[in-house]
Amino acid sequence: MNSESNRIEFKQELTDDLEKEVVAFLNYHEGGVIYFGIDDKGNITGLRDSELIQLKIKDRLKNNILPSCLGLFDVVSEERKGKNIIKLIIASGYEKPYYIKKKGMSEKGCFLRVGSAAEPMPVSMIEDLFSKRTRNSLGKIVSNKQNLSFQQLKIYYQEKGYEINDAFLENLDLYTPEHRFNYVAYLLADVNSVSIKVAKYAGKTKSDLVENEEYGYCSLIKATEQVLNKLEVENKTYTKITGKANRLERKMINSRALREALINAMVHNDYTSEVPPVVEIYSDRLSITSYGGLVPGLSREEFFAGRSMPRNRELMRVFKDLDLVEQLGSGIHRILDAYDTSVFKISENFLEICFPFEQDYLDSLESGAMGGQIGGTKGGMKGGMKGGQIGGQIGGQIGGQISDLTDRQKEVLQLIINNNKISRKKISEILKINTSAVQKHIDILVKKNIITRIGGTRGYWKINIEE
């Protein structure tokens, strides 16, 4: 186990100085991590009742620190050498200085991480940080509409097992101090004017727009799910022949990295500019652009190191509650596990993540070895299938088999190719058609011997590829 440092603190147990240590990390430009169940020398001692301790940590941080740090910390239970420990991840806050509520914004309440210790913050620094504190954060901006409803958001929370009570909206920090709905509430409401554009081009430039769809005017959570479903359809699975009857199935883009990039754009976008994220799909790449650049105070090196400084902590909190975000600071690492830093294009006002399509996929397009083309370019891309073309190619030699399918049947087939265990209900949700219509399309695919069901309800679909 590493020793204590400017970003790591060990605690053998939960102590009275929890708030002090957390405030110090919130005010530190890199944030930090506190481990409970590990002594000062790095020896793992473990915790007896880690679940209860987690609840106590959350409750104390929620009630004892100002400004609110909800959405800026993550409490994770881990097992090391057969013993339970707790990992408390703290992001650098965007509304410095943070302080212990009962001690106020003073040297007794404000702390900063210096080396491996939490030191009192000088008055001059407190005043300087306060003067620079972000005044236009989403939580402080009053929504221009106050007649808001949140049925979609409540359904998402209920599906995750949360109990919805009268304090639901208050607990999510959807009100300004004057108890009016803030801009976060507007973004999460059932109806708003925010939409995410997904544009598709026939070539490598924007000269030939073939599809322009918008997802939104609803809760940002629902809009995010809709765009994720769209990307699942667009991120085709292709097959590379590697030997005698050996096929290697790959995605055009690493699925995990693509998901993280979209979530990162949705959570960290600067919505105060009223410029939402944009997704653009070209013939050789897919890009996701968010407005705002890096959060002020976060360097490129810190960004690529996974240091978290959420621009919109209220949104981060909701996305974490609903398991759209797994752990603070983990998203960039997941992208960099599959790609290098060259996929990021960072400017003063924009952050673009541009994923090149897999080279094997592009080579297959050029050689014509990829059978027919499936999924929504509305005709016009070169090569492949007769009678109009519908997006990215799938592996194998099935062009002739699908030439007389409808566009919708091709979309259903593409989803099955992407996930051969996909349910009719999931297809229905993604394509926004009822399950009976899905079943009719599947029946046609079966009748044409394009797919075959292997096993019962827990089975899978076999794609019948002509050799």
pLDDT band at 21 (very low <50, low <70, confident <90, very high): very high
Q: What is the pLDDT of residue 174?
A: 96
- Does residue 368 have a pLDDT over 70? no
User: How far is the first Cα of the chain from the last one, in angstroms, to the nearest whole number?
Assistant: 54
Query: pLDDT category, 437, cuts 50, 70, 90?
Result: confident
User: What phi, psi does 84 have (nearest 5°)?
Assistant: -80, 130
- Whether the pTM exceeds 0.85: the reply is no
Fold observed for domain 195-357:
Heat Shock Protein 90 (3.30.565)
**What is the pLDDT averaged over residues 348-367?**
80
Q: Where are the domains of the chain?
A: 8-133, 140-188, 195-357, 365-463
The percentage of the chain sitting over the pLDDT mark of 90, rounded to a whole number, equals 54
CATH 1.10.1060.10 is the classification of domain 365-463: no
Q: What is the pLDDT of residues 71-96, one digit of tens each?
A: 899 999 999 888 999 999 999 988 89
Question: Do 90 and 22 contact (CB within 8 A), yes or no?
Answer: yes
Evaluate whether 263 touches 325 at the Cβ level (below 8 Å). Answer: yes
The pLDDT of 359-375, averaged and rounded, is 54
- Note the pLDDT of residue 134: 66
In this structure, the strands spanning 83-90 and 73-80 are: antiparallel
Q: How far apart are CA 159 and CA 221, in angstroms?
A: 13
Calpha distance 449→439 (Å, rounded): 15
Averaged confidence pLDDT in the chain: 85
Give residue-wise pLDDT tens across range 295-306: 888 888 988 888
Between 114-118, 302-306, 348-352, the lowest mean confidence (pLDDT) is in: 302-306
Correct CATH for 8-133 of 3.30.950.30, 3.90.76.10, 3.20.20.70, 3.40.50.300? 3.30.950.30
pLDDT at 188: 97
**How, if at all, do strands 285-291 and 350-356 pair?**
antiparallel
Give the tens place of pLDDT for each residue, 260-279.
999 999 999 999 888 999 99
